[in-house]
Amino acid sequence: MSQIGIQHSFDLGDGRIVTLETGKLAKQADGAVVVKLGATMILATVVSNKEAKEGVDFLPLTVDYQEKYAATGRFPGGFFRREAKLSDYEVLISRIVDRAMRPLFPDDYHADTQIMLSLISSDKKTMPDALVGLAASAAVAVSDIPFNGPISEVRVGKIDGKLVINPDIDQLALSTIDMIVAASATDIAMVEGEMSEISEAEMLEAIKFAHEAIKLQINAINEFAIKAGLKPKREYNHEKHDLDLKAAVAKATYDKVYAVAKTGNPNKNERKVAFKAVLDEYKATFTPEELKEKEALINTYYHGVEYDAVRQATLDTQIRLDGRKTNQIRPIWSEVGYLPAAHGSAIFQRGETQSLTTVTLGTSKDAQLIDGAFYRGETKFILHYNFPGFSTGEAKPNRGVGRREVGHGNLALRALSKVVPTDTPYTVRVVSDILESNGSSSMATVCAGTLALMDAGVKIAKPVTGIAMGLITSSDNSSYAILSDILGDEDHLGDMDFKVCGTKDGITAVQMDLKVNAAVARIKGIVAIPEVGEIYDATVKSIMPYGAFVEFMPGKEGLLHISEYDWKRIDSLDGLVKEGELVKVKYIGTDPKNGKAKLSRKATLPKPEAVAEEKKA
């Protein structure tokens, strides 16, 4: 007699039925759910320790996705004929769930937590990575583990001009978009995918389309959790605090940290030394005995001061840690053909981030065999990304390729693969070795990869480049700063990491992680397209003899030429406007010479002739 579990089903929106089941498998886990779509089934389990380990001040979350070869009736390859370590494909799926869910666990929850996802049955057409977020979130929802969710995720494709949710493997081959979106009921949490040179407007449309489908899934998770019997979330106390000490640390160090942040020192190591000196100076006021008792908390509170002070300095001055303006790119230099014996090579450096990239050309016999349970085939375009410790001045052992390296390499692979001809007669291997790093190393890989491919004589359709964007918002969301070409510190201290790759004609790959709910509205503004004839409240950024540069949408600037300020002739804007002032402008198009937005203030005002006619009447 089989165990009867609790089930809940819902329609994906196109007639396909998804079923959630609990209470039948893995009942000793804190939460266990099977997600079923057709013959495809994923088992998700979650277990979290009741107490945190001593001294741990973060969430030790592990997410593992593994495909069981029996799911597709296949034997594993290799000598041992059993599932081994996770493949790159499985690592990438694990990272999708980790990145979507980690930000929504409570900040003060530090117990070891493990989410395991297993593909236990597959129809070989349904893409499992489009269901793992749903499965993991449902497992947490039926557990007593605290979580500020639920979340879910979908894949969105575009086939024959029509957006599709969770296309199967055959449909995906015809799609111009392959994008995974994860979100809560209200906010986007993570976006990752590749595209065939689409516009910003197309990408935003796809994200919105995905979010509507996600909302339906979250509603289903909530109904399922109620049906399963909602468990009260466990009580925990994983942090010990001394509020008086916290206030003392802030009082003694905030202004000093703020001052360091405002110096605009472009050298990462010198900034690091300066910030540490503030902390060391404060610690010197304690006896060794006092430090032994309080040092851990002092370090925690000082990190919070650094977080607040650096962000506030950027918001106040619109100048960043390294002295750049918010929209300023770090100095770039590059060189091709650096390695005489390699088929193709290039160095690309942006600021303190450097990639040495090589290209090796081989025959069809050098193609990489992909031997997974769900997918089996080969690929003739390979990209590997390496991140050794010395790139950040650290001495650490090499223990094989980490998940971060797999993820960053995959993003660059997606960006570049769109411009490599499908009929290329040889196998291409691109290897990016990061020799220096201070943010955006995956984007340096894209740029160096383009150069190295051209150096090797590969006839790519167009050059591809990439950049990482950041965002800092105030606590009340009243002010913000959009950061171009972010540093490592800005990634760590910011609210968003948004990597965008593309050609001059469109986007080929994106990866976005949002760390707060307030970032979502800003993102929508960044990718929104201005409409001709629309009137905007613009902020004056700088004044020139020929006009003023104004920001009329988040991250979008244009020129308000002096001739477009008023209907009467004006020789100078002196005394008429000042930096930071709001001005109403109408978007009147784009300058064909430089692609910049053209704006007009006078178009928002009545013409003098019209005023005169009104007086006559």
DSSP letter (8 states) at residue 319 = B
Supply the pLDDT for residue 611. 47
Query: HSE (CB half, 13 Å, CA atoms) of 27?
Result: 7
All residues at 6 or more sequence positions from 268 whose CB lies less than 8 Å from its CB, including other chains:
322, 352, 438, 487, 488, 489
113-140: average pLDDT: 96
d(CA 535, CA 550): 13
Lowest mean pLDDT: which of 19-28, 210-219, 305-314, 393-402?
393-402
All residues at 6 or more sequence positions from 378 whose CB lies less than 8 Å from its CB, including other chains:
367, 368, 369, 370
> What tokens were used for 368?
């990489």
CA-CA distances (angstroms) from residue 466 to 24, 132, 501, 508?
47, 28, 4, 10
CA-CA distances (angstroms) from residue 300 to 241, 250, 617?
10, 11, 72
Per-residue model confidence as pLDDT tens digits over 413-423: 999 999 999 88
The structural domains of the chain, ordered by start, are 6-228 (3.30.230.70), 243-317 (1.10.10), 332-526 (3.30.230.70), 530-616 (2.40.50.140)
**E strand or H helix at 356:** strand 353-362
> What tokens were used for 539?
């902020």
d(CA 213, CA 164): 10
The amino acid sitting at 511 is Q
The amino acid sitting at 295 is E
All residues at 6 or more sequence positions from 532 whose CB lies less than 8 Å from its CB, including other chains:
587, 588, 589
DSSP letter (8 states) at residue 494 = S
The string over 274-290, giving b where at least 16 C-beta atoms fall within 10 Å of a residue's C-beta and e elsewhere, is bbeebbeebeeeeeeee
In this predicted model, which residue has the larger pLDDT, 172 or 588?
A: 172
* Cβ atoms within 10 Å of 323's Cβ, excluding its own: 12
CB 111 within 8 A of CB 49: yes
d(CA 495, CA 480): 10
* Cβ atoms within 10 Å of 564's Cβ, excluding its own: 19
CB 487 within 8 A of CB 438: yes
Task: At 475, give phi and psi (nearest 5°).
Answer: -60, -30
Q: What percent of the chain has pLDDT over 70?
A: 95
List, in sequence order, every residue forming a beta bridge with 335; answer none if it has no partner. 347
Per-residue model confidence as pLDDT tens digits over 152-164: 999 999 999 999 9
d(CA 391, CA 434): 6
Per-residue model confidence as pLDDT tens digits over 500-538: 999 999 999 999 998 758 445 555 555 566 778 888 888
CB 220 within 8 A of CB 200: no
Supply the pLDDT for residue 210. 96
Per-residue model confidence as pLDDT tens digits over 38-89: 999 999 999 999 999 988 889 999 999 999 999 999 898 877 888 888 999 9
* Cβ atoms within 10 Å of 541's Cβ, excluding its own: 16
Widest pairwise Cα distance in the chain: 96
User: Does the pLDDT of residue 126 top 90, yes or no?
Assistant: yes
> What tokens were used for 348?
């690309």
d(CA 425, CA 428): 9
All residues at 6 or more sequence positions from 141 whose CB lies less than 8 Å from its CB, including other chains:
31, 147, 149, 150, 221, 222, 224, 225
Per-residue model confidence as pLDDT tens digits over 272-289: 999 999 999 999 999 999
CB 468 within 8 A of CB 498: yes
DSSP 362-423: E-GGGPEEEE-SS-EEEESEEEEEE--GGGGT------S--HHHHHHHHHHHHHHHTTS-TT
All residues at 6 or more sequence positions from 220 whose CB lies less than 8 Å from its CB, including other chains:
8, 10, 18, 20
Supply the pLDDT for residue 555. 66
CB 135 within 8 A of CB 22: no
> Confidence band (pLDDT; 50, 70, 90) for 374?
confident
10-25: average pLDDT: 95
Three-state DSSP state, 172: helix
Q: Please provide the average confidence, as pLDDT, over all residues in the chain.
A: 91
Q: What percent of the chain has pLDDT over 90?
A: 69
All residues at 6 or more sequence positions from 613 whose CB lies less than 8 Å from its CB, including other chains:
none
